[in-house]
Structure 1
């Protein structure tokens, strides 16, 4: 009986973690779109706060399971990708929002989205679509 319980937990727990990460990443995508809407409405401070919440969702998702298997079975450490995203396009977006710079924020959103797509591509999760940013 004890072995069955252990086996069941070994099967269920990774599935739960995967579902949690999927939920967090979907939330991050909604927050990215909400950040853009707030920025376009001229609500710069609110957009910056939403961007921080988006970053938290992505960061929690990756730090909770930094090593992910690709579609081909290879293991990839996502921490360097997260660092690149955080210090690259996310930092660019944050700066643009702080400066209330619409032109630069538009470029930053496009870069941010592209880095999301790149990460999904590395993992072989091309079926995961990242919404267009208006």
Structure 2
């Protein structure tokens, strides 16, 4: 009986963590879209703040579940992908927003979105699509 309770508790907790991460990633996408709209509206500081909030959602999701089964059942550690995202496209986005550089911001938003989709592909979830960034 104890084994059944332990097993059902483990399944419930894993399901809960998965639900929370799904929610966080949906929130990250919403924040990414909002940051772009704020930037396009000339609200650079608000766009930077929203981008930071988006980063927080993504980072928390990866901290909660740093490994995933990729295609073929291979376990993939996505923390290095997060580091690459943070030091690459996310750093470029922050810099563009801080400098109020519309051209660089447009490019950075597109690169950031692509890096997100690359991560989804690596963990075998290429079916998770992000909205286009206008």
- TM class by shorter chain equals over 0.9
How do 1:23-102 residues align onto structure 2 when only pairs under 5 Å count? 23-102=23-102
Unaligned runs of 5+ in 1: none
C-alpha separation in 1, matches of 2:21 and 2:131? 17
2:112 corresponds to: 112
Q: Secondary structure at the match of 1:68?
A: strand
Deviation of 1:2 after TM superposition, in Å, equals 2.1
Matched, 1:121 2:121: yes
C-alpha separation in 2, matches of 1:79 and 1:7? 28
C-alpha separation in 2, matches of 1:73 and 1:17? 20
RMSD: 0.8
- The Cα offsets for residues 37-77 of structure 1, whole Å up to 9 and x where unpaired, read as 00000000000000000000000000111011114211100
1:6 corresponds to: 6
Deviation of 1:83 after TM superposition, in Å, equals 0.1
| Pairs aligned (count) | 134
TM-score (norm 1): 0.97
Deviation of 1:3 after TM superposition, in Å, equals 2.1
2:19 corresponds to: 19
